[in-house]
Structure 1
């Protein structure tokens, strides 16, 4: 019996994802301090990545809302953990971007300490979606984040953003690079999802992935 390809979604799973994200989604908590996190409840899915990689834009595209998460052309604007309740089934967590070179050293250290402490120690964290800009080469800080997640045994899945802005040949080369990177990291989920918040490419697959996660037997509902 051959194992089902984890990258394959049935029509039913795609529809389940669509219905999940068609439901209510509301901001309910934000914090800049680890000790002030909301109580542990149902599953949480975190969106992490370098500053200006498109986390907020992707969350808005997933939920079909223009201003749910605050997107900005100014890198590093998101300086806190922002929690969104998706239909009482799962929390989406928009994390501070890491690697913003122009930020003051102390500010960068504060952001990254909060982010990495959350990733290491949150028992309700079901998965980290680690976003990479398809237009840009992998940075040292991206690889450091993957290594930290390996050490913490936190499953992460690579999500490529802004794919509509990359020519087909360059995108194919990027896919090979990403596949090779995944094989080097034991905590990496075995397939990536390629998206564009502008065109909607890959968004149905990412919705289906979230639905698949929360439909797992271990998933709990948010109290």
Structure 2
């Protein structure tokens, strides 16, 4: 039997127990894929608040989305880097839309394809009025890489608020997690659109997942009384 997770205050921030419970309830609701967009002209109508997930190929985006929703196959995971080539939209309980973005940094993608992807993502980030926050996923074992910094600069330029979420934190000891969080936090000081807190998560063990749910619930459509 796996040992109970011990969540340190640094992973919780200013979240309350009520917010964590609200996050659990929200992410237990139905979550369905409803749209795939390969160009700015094919984006769905902007209605509900949106959160987008960005990260290097194979950083664990799909695994994190699956862990948040408690499902194994909501977002397809792949051993082939760069396979996701569209924005995938998921409706969570008619209160929040999660957007799985294509992975970046895969060397075998052509320059033309990469340039088209950058233009598409810039258009989405700059013009999506319902986009509340972007999550930039970073492999905890490696820290920030040049492609991560490029994505952060793009979000700075498009004035999209974003937060760094470390993935695969279960592969590191607690002291090493704190060290990489501190290193990333220092780097964020030069990025105007970045949220200062760095979250650490593991889709494998559930580390940080309740806290991330609670954090994202803050941006969801409010519950209508009655």
Q: Structure 1 length as normaliser, TM-score?
A: 0.90
SS of the aligned residue for 1:92 comes to strand
Q: CA offsets, 1:52-76, max 9 Å, x none?
A: 1111110000001100001111111
Alpha-carbon offset, residue 107 of structure 1: 2.2
Distance in 2 of aligned mates of 1:132 and 1:58: 12
Alpha-carbon offset, residue 92 of structure 1: 0.2
Distance in 1 of aligned mates of 2:202 and 2:213: 13
Alpha-carbon offset, residue 173 of structure 1: 2.1
Whether the 8 Å contact between 1:98 and 1:112 is mirrored in structure 2 is no
Distance in 1 of aligned mates of 2:177 and 2:197: 16
> Is residue 170 of structure 2 the alignment partner of residue 145 of structure 1?
no
Alpha-carbon offset, residue 115 of structure 1: 1.9
SS of the aligned residue for 2:219 comes to helix
Q: CA offsets, 1:167-199, max 9 Å, x none?
A: 334323211111102222111112121100000
Distance in 2 of aligned mates of 1:14 and 1:188: 23
Whether the 8 Å contact between 1:44 and 1:126 is mirrored in structure 2 is yes
Within-5 A mapping of 1:38-187: 38-187=44-193
Distance in 2 of aligned mates of 1:141 and 1:175: 18
Distance in 2 of aligned mates of 1:8 and 1:202: 14
Q: CA offsets, 1:64-104, max 9 Å, x none?
A: 11000011111111100000000000100000011111222
Q: Structure 2 length as normaliser, TM-score?
A: 0.89
Whether the 8 Å contact between 1:46 and 1:129 is mirrored in structure 2 is yes
Moved more, 145-154 or 30-39: 145-154
Within-5 A mapping of 1:187-202: 187-202=193-208
> In the alignment, what sits opposite 1:3?
none
Structure 1's unaligned 5+ residue stretches are 1-5
Q: CA offsets, 1:13-54, max 9 Å, x none?
A: 110000000000000000111111001111110001111111
Moved more, 165-174 or 113-122: 165-174
CA RMSD across the alignment: 1.9
Distance in 1 of aligned mates of 2:223 and 2:81: 34
Give aligned pairs, total: 214
